[in-house]
Chains A and B, each alone.
Chain A
Amino acid sequence: DTGVSQDPRHKITKRGQNVTFRCDPISEHNRLYWYRQTLGQGPEFLTYFQNEAQLEKSRLLSDRFSAERPKGSFSTLEIQRTEQGDSAMYLCASSVAATNEKLFFGSGTQLSVL
Chain B
Amino acid sequence: DAKTTQPPSMDCAEGRAANLPCNHSTISGNEYVYWYRQIHSQGPQYIIHGLKNNETNEMASLIITEDRKSSTLILPHATLRDTAVYYCIVSALIQGAQKLVFGQGTRLTINP
Contacts and interface: CB of A to CB of B under 8 A. Distances in A.
Contact of A105 (B32, B43, B94, B97): B43
Contacts, number: 64
A107 B97 contact: no
Contacts of B43: 4, 91-93, 105-108
Nearest to A95: B98
Contacts of B2: 42
Contacts of B94: 48, 55-56
Interface string A24-61: 00000001010100001111110010100001100000
Interface string A60-99: 0000000000000000000000000000000111010101
Nearest to B42: A107
Contacts of A40: 104
The bracket for how many chain B residues form the interface is 20 to 34
B54 to A, nearest CB: 15
Contacts of B105: 42
Nearest to A41: B104
A97 B91 CA distance: 14
B100 A103 contact: yes
B80 to A, nearest CB: 20
B95 A56 contact: yes
A48 B97 contact: yes
A97 B97 contact: yes
Contact of B46 (A42, A92, A103): A103
